[in-house]
A and B are shown apart, each in its own frame.
Chain A
């Protein structure tokens, strides 16, 4: 596998209906403890009444290219893994929660067993040539996963042809999850 690979996700907010299938698929695939979630749905309504616009987003860890969680981790438990995916190595995690405080997206939580947990882009599935669980189950095909370093990948094509944004660009984290508007 090429070390230059950069995994990313494109979320089409025009297709997402907020059904939460991605959330449930993730819980099931990753044994997420009850009462917790690695991905979630956000409804954002803005405008001046009666001209309101609703955007629905399936959100998760942004797998930033400049991840503050990795920088602040004192033990190296938070790390950048294969394809730029940001991971937590439970065995090295002390549960100090510095990474949680450092994440602008509040994408992490303390697992009941003590270590910090978060989305992994289902790297265990990706390594087998499969897609992340959330992408697989999305009924409206709002989620696209792929290698952003590959110009022919669907994610790259979508970002070239559609208007997109990242969340909180002012944080300087360079997210690898993009939202199509």
Chain B
């Protein structure tokens, strides 16, 4: 039988739109990765503290919030670099649009700063508090009184601050996924699974970064166990996502083909699934069950997988439209 012909020719030639959408380059996946990482750090730092019976200053609490603050600032720099109309960046903060995930995100990003700053100040041990107030720069800027007041505030409301950090972290992680998930025009992104998927991946990458840095021994064991759970949940969410594509509309099935035999198959299954999820899962399980010594491999693989996941989704989402 002669196949049906369908040929669509267009004389539209807009840069970054034709022949296929190419509006978001490295800045967006880089931001989504860093944003997810910080979300994971916030959730994990808060959860570790809530888990402790007697809150003693933890090793991670001494400087991990500062790492998170630096990373989120780097992420916001990436976002700024992506803007085509940079002088108008302040417009994000002259409006709140409840239907826009990006608007939620820009306001959540503002909450990240005070939450992490107060988490850090409240978690510092006595020596480091004295060191901070004694810094020449701090004294030159006449900040010791402000820091003393903030530290007192952070101590008084420690539990509230920890819970706030946890919730802002969850919000940040979910929004990085929903930013893409709310786009009906792009079948790769248009799934409610994207929010929990990016949050879980963020928690896993956050745990990886913490495991690459010195931690209290009990925290290290807890983080490895939590990472196992996060990886298993992430694998399950990816399966749900692929089932959704395979059983969806023609456009969604075209996406499934991309991941199950098409252009994205090799990268997705090798770097995201095998390197980023299955291998670290096995290494983590060996560590817990067989007490094999922990190496940097599992966390490093998780970080690579998390970054590639975001690069892949941003790229494949732009390559496919609802109209084919």
Contact = CB atoms under 8 A, between A and B. Distances in A.
Interface in B57-108: 82-89, 91-92, 94-95, 97, 99-103, 105-106
Interface in A5-42: 20, 23, 35-37, 40-42
Interface stretch (B4-12, B209-217, B283-291): B4-12
A71 B5 contact: no
A101 B17 contact: no
B306 to A, nearest CB: 22
Contacts of B126: none
Interface residues of A, number: 54
A100 B321 contact: no
A95 B85 contact: yes
A149 interface: no
B9 A92 contact: no
B13 A74 contact: no
Contact of A95 (B88, B95, B97, B318): B88
B23 A110 contact: yes
B21 A106 contact: yes
A77 B84 CA distance: 14
B88 A93 contact: yes
Given A94-B83, A97-B23, A37 B102 contact: no
Contacts of B3: 48
Contacts of B100: 71-74, 98
A68 B184 contact: yes
A102 B184 contact: yes
Interface majority SS on B: helix, strand, loop or mixed? loop
Contacts of B86: 95, 114
B101 to A, nearest CB: 7
Interface in B1-44: 2-18, 21, 23-24
Contact of B95 (A40, A42, A75): A75
Interface string A89-133: 001111111101111111011100111100000000000000000
A116 B17 CA distance: 12
B14 A36 contact: yes
A75 B102 CA distance: 9
A74 B88 contact: no
Contacts of B15: 35-36, 109-110
A106 B19 CA distance: 11
B17 A109 contact: yes
A104 B184 CA distance: 7
B102 A96 contact: yes
Interface string B175-201: 000010011111000000000000000
B182 A72 contact: yes
B71 to A, nearest CB: 21
A153 interface: no
A95 B8 contact: no
Instruction: Report, nearest first, the 9 A-B pairs whose CB atoms are least far apart.
Output: A95-B84, A95-B85, A114-B85, A40-B12, A74-B103, A104-B185, A74-B102, A109-B14, A71-B99
13 contacts: A46-B6, A49-B2, A74-B102, A76-B95, A92-B95, A93-B91, A94-B84, A94-B92, A100-B16, A104-B184, A104-B321, A114-B85, A171-B322
Interface of A: 20, 23, 35-37, 40-49, 52, 59, 68, 70-77, 91-98, 100-106, 108-110, 113-116, 167-168, 170-173
Given A20-B11, A23-B11, A36-B14, 6 more contacts: A46-B5, A59-B12, A94-B88, A100-B17, A101-B317, A115-B88
Interface of B: 2-18, 21, 23-24, 82-89, 91-92, 94-95, 97, 99-103, 105-106, 179, 182-186, 249, 317-318, 321-323
